[in-house]
Amino acid sequence: MMGGWARVRAATLHSIGPVLLIGVILGLAVAIQPKLTLAALVGLALGGVGVVMPPALVAFMFLGMLMDRAGVTGMKLGAFPVTASKLSVLGGIGMWLVHAGIYGARPLRWHPVLTAMAGVIGTMAVCIAYANSMAEGKFSLYGVMMMTVMVALVYASLAEASLTALYRFLSGIFLLALLASVRGPGSAEGGRVAGTMGDPNEWATMVLLLAPFLLGGLADDDHGVARLLRTALVALAPLAILRSESRTALVVGTLISPACLYVLRRHRGELAFCGGAALFAAPFVIDLDTALHRFNQLVANLQGAAVVQDQSLEERSELFRQGVQLFKDHWFIGAGPGNFSTATGFVSHTGSFRPAHNTYLEIASEQGIVGLTPTIIFLWTVAASLRAAWKDATRDEDRNRIVGVAAGLGALALMAATLGLLTFSMAYLVLGFGLAVVYQARRE
């Protein structure tokens, strides 16, 4: 039997609390901008679903991040753009706390990976203070802080939840984006396909991250819907990478393909069918002449036999050279987060400063050994956690999910050598999801 105070608390949380919360949110919406009222009502409806079903919070964040570059809100708070992913994460925090208060769930679960991320934040703050570069470094600092909160949120909300239906839903949403990128016209320079990201290389990174992650979750799901999703993913993901014409992504995709074959080892018939379908469809959806020209040009440049120089490769090579020199000049504590572009002074052919296009070089040159060390510890902690969970898992379902997460994050880690992915939000959502998979694998 509940005591008197317990009954009062339960009644307050279940009735008065939500009413007050709705009133406060709508009042703020009207006070800030009347047009926000409709958006607030939609947000409250989605939030209500998230309070009852925490996995829905992760689904909303996934959708927001997938559409982040589509300019969904177009608003700014000061100098910071208000994107769909930021709104979904901030809303998710509030809804998860409401859920924890109503249902008595643990609001926070700690993990060594979160400790390592806190170390990254601490050293970044030290480097910013030393270089007096708060104006330049605040975006990276606040971004990593928000990513850490999101990892903790996703981990806590999924640790005790069934993940099967969520894997199916996320796969369905991602397949719609894949299908649009494969069938649609090229949206980037040179006719390359950029999907929902606005940049072909970032879109290829998104595909390399999500395809193995989702395949790992669908591998042991024998439901008819799961089979359809799995087959479509295997067929469309390679075509999407080829349509992006990202040369690095093609190499990375080849490197992680054994992991995908491992999780799909029970489905050889599906693999054969998808391979044949993809080969048949390739000439109709891919400009083979342009794609082959790009890859041949890369090989010729690497061999020093190119007649026409690759401007992109030349630019990246010069950025790498200048980044290494910047690291040599500021090897201990770096030139300050956010200072790479101005410190190197490299101006592209378009007349603008360029970022490092290499996450590791960016950290090394801007934060030196002080920042690079906790980053290495963070990567090692993630890898060690996944490896230990894979060894301890007793079910094939858990093993396949862990391999899928590891393959997706491994692909992103390789792509980070050619892109700035320090605050690539979808990677941190997959990481938080992976921590929940690790927890469930060890609990069984």
CB neighbour list of residue 82: distance below 8 Å, 6 or more residues apart:
73, 75, 76
User: Is the model more confident about 172 or about 17?
Assistant: 172
Q: How confident is the model at residue 120 (pLDDT cuts 50, 70, 90)?
A: very high
Which pLDDT belongs to residue 297? 66
As given in the structure block, the two tokens for residue 197 are 């990201």
Average pLDDT, the chain: 81
Domain boundaries, the chain: 13-107, 110-161+311-392, 164-309
Q: How confident is the model at residue 89 (pLDDT cuts 50, 70, 90)?
A: confident
Q: Nearest-CA neighbor of 424 among 436, 413, 433?
A: 413
User: Is the model more confident about 172 or about 23?
Assistant: 172
pLDDT above 60 (res 107): yes
pLDDT above 60 (res 78): no
pLDDT above 50 (res 74): no
Per-residue model confidence as pLDDT tens digits over 376-411: 999 999 999 999 999 999 999 999 999 999 999 999
What are phi and psi for residue 353, nearest 5 degrees?
-65, 150
Which residues are 353's β-sheet partners? Answer: 347
Per-residue model confidence as pLDDT tens digits over 330-339: 889 988 888 8
Which pLDDT belongs to residue 11? 46
- Alpha-helix residue ranges (DSSP H) falling in 184-267: 200-218, 224-244, 247-263
Residues 106 and 328: their CA atoms lie apart, in Å, by 46
Per-residue model confidence as pLDDT tens digits over 289-320: 666 666 666 666 655 555 555 666 777 778 88
Which pLDDT belongs to residue 91? 78
Q: How confident is the model at residue 164 (pLDDT cuts 50, 70, 90)?
A: very high
pLDDT above 90 (res 63): no
CB-neighbour burial class of residue 272 (10 A; exposed 0-12, middle 13-18, buried 19+): exposed
Exposed e or buried b per residue across 176-206, where buried means at least 16 C-beta atoms within 10 angstroms of its C-beta:
ebbeebbeeebbbeeebbbbbbebbbbbbbb
Which pLDDT belongs to residue 348? 63
As given in the structure block, the two tokens for residue 433 are 């999801």
pLDDT above 60 (res 137): yes
Q: How confident is the model at residue 81 (pLDDT cuts 50, 70, 90)?
A: low
CB neighbour list of residue 177: distance below 8 Å, 6 or more residues apart:
66, 195, 196
Which pLDDT belongs to residue 145? 93
Which pLDDT belongs to residue 288? 63
